[in-house]
Chain A
């Protein structure tokens, strides 16, 4: 019998409905696991045990009174620490926000609370979501549960690690250039970056607002689809929110890819992609062919420029978005009453931000400054148009595009952190979905040397249904999701 914290979201909701378990028992089992294991993994920055138990008892009371229950009744959810949670500290894994307690909930938090989910705590991440390894966190790195000496990926590393070791059942991530898909791949979980505008960004602490989306992370495709159904939807508080009717994405989970046309962009298998990853992703592609899909290599030539384009746009937007951190209304403030405002601000930002955040703000400021705006920022935005067009062309021919999520397997902690450019290169296959606003998923597709490998699937805007159908069919015909790290 699996323990309650090992159940899927679907099973948890069923058990609570049938009164085979209480929400309190589910929450307690998750915290038991956290207290036993999180010293090693360090997935969480802040735990919300008291609040979680209070919420769980509320749900149990609803059950005993026969009141209607939400779609995530009693399901433990871990929340990335850049998503605002009312009265629960929200740090962005930064010294700047070490003591910040939001006075309001993000829209996605309101949505899951309405569906009776239980927030267990806030997960570790790269500072302000800037990184691919969770090493830039002010609170120390998260360890990859498959090999504690390796990174879990980033920036949503805490979220991915938490669910793969059963410290939570669902987790929120956010994805600006791969921050959901990279850790999903490195920890062997499922993670979706939704179409830009599908999920409200209200209450997501901004890094690069034209690129980022909040998204669901789970141990299997069904749970991810269920979670997405809850958080997607129009929000008037986000001016980039798309007005579409809510959908039940679990309805699209059919174990069938017959007739699917799948494109394989050669750029996703380019130099720098490790042979073991190529081999495993190709095995997955052959599996999909076996199941009735037709796969064909194709080329999107502008993808070669996606990484540079992404970093210029992201850094430029970051320099503007992070200008708000002056230590006045909230955030880190030095204790110097004698100094003038300019000195105080500059010192607050020197000490409050870590090195990678400062690097990106300074380079972004440069890319937007007089004389360089056209050369960097505007040029990048024009290439962004070309990348979108390349995808539009590709999707005339193919239903979905497939490649590896990451070019290399999870690397050692400390291996790349001194070399920012080397770390940026890890995002080469994920950033294009953000530039074009497309939905993309990473699903487990195998192992090499006992380290997980993820396969990335991309679809046209608002076609999350296609991603989910292909992922579900693949998952139902393979066993990768059943393999767990041996951490006890």
Chain B
């Protein structure tokens, strides 16, 4: 019997956090698939990582700065070109309140 890592309620909550609506059928399918995948991920529990530092990325770079100098940015028309909804010089957002 496979362990259930994620319940329907949890999947709904995470999908809400990620701002992705799920259909009823897809929710059922995803729960199954997620539990399969998380079951596989369980194998990392075996590894002893006591006192091991995490690798966020592989380079030894730290704090890459640039000069605080203004440079030209995209003209408004260019920046708006791909916006699905716009009005005058603005992006049109959905209702907030």
Q: Which residues of A contact B (CB under 8 A)?
A: 99-101, 103-104, 196-197, 210, 236, 239-240, 242, 302, 304-305, 308-309, 311-312, 319, 323, 326-333, 336-347, 349-350, 353, 355, 358-359, 361-363, 365-366, 369, 376, 378-386, 388, 420-421, 424, 435-437, 461
Contact = CB atoms under 8 A, between A and B. Distances in A.
A196 B59 CA distance: 8
A379 to B, nearest CB: 6
B37 A363 contact: yes
Interface string B62-97: 001010000000100011011111000001011110
B15 to A, nearest CB: 6
A346 B34 contact: no
Given A345-B19, A350-B21, A379-B44, A362 B54 contact: no
Q: Label chain B's interface by main secondary structure.
A: loop
A386 B52 contact: yes
Given A197-B59, A346-B19, A362-B15, A311 B41 contact: yes
Contacts of B38: 363
A381 B55 contact: yes
Given A346-B21, A365-B14, A376 B84 contact: no
Given A328-B91, A346-B20, A420 B82 contact: no
A337 B33 CA distance: 34
A353 B21 CA distance: 11
B1 interface: no
A339 B95 contact: yes
Nearest to B37: A421
Given A362-B14, A380-B44, A383-B44, 12 more contacts: A101-B82, A210-B57, A236-B66, A304-B43, A312-B41, A339-B95, A359-B34, A363-B37, A366-B10, A379-B49, A382-B53, A421-B37
Contacts of A100: 82
A357 to B, nearest CB: 9
Contacts of B56: 210, 381
Nearest to A367: B41
A358 B20 CA distance: 7
Contacts of A328: 83-84, 91, 93
Q: Label chain A's interface by main secondary structure.
A: helix
Contacts of A197: 58-59, 61
27 contacts: A103-B78, A103-B79, A103-B82, A104-B74, A196-B58, A240-B59, A240-B61, A305-B44, A308-B44, A326-B19, A330-B82, A341-B94, A341-B95, A345-B19, A346-B19, A350-B22, A353-B20, A362-B20, A362-B30, A369-B17, A379-B47, A380-B44, A382-B49, A385-B52, A386-B49, A386-B52, A420-B33
A340 B93 CA distance: 10
A210 B61 CA distance: 13
A311 B37 contact: yes
Contacts of B78: 103
Interface in B7-47: 10-11, 14-23, 26, 30, 33-34, 36-38, 40-41, 43-45, 47
Nearest to B34: A363
A340 B96 contact: yes
Nearest to B50: A382
B74 A302 contact: no
Nearest to A344: B94
B84 A342 contact: no
A361 B54 CA distance: 22
Contact of A369 (B14, B20, B44, B45): B14
3 tightest A-B CB contacts, nearest first: A437-B58, A381-B54, A330-B82
B34 to A, nearest CB: 6
Contacts of B14: 362, 365-366, 369
A347 B40 contact: no
Contacts of A376: 41
A240 B57 CA distance: 9
A302 B22 contact: no
Q: Interface centre among B10, B14, B93, by most A CB within 10 Å?
A: B14
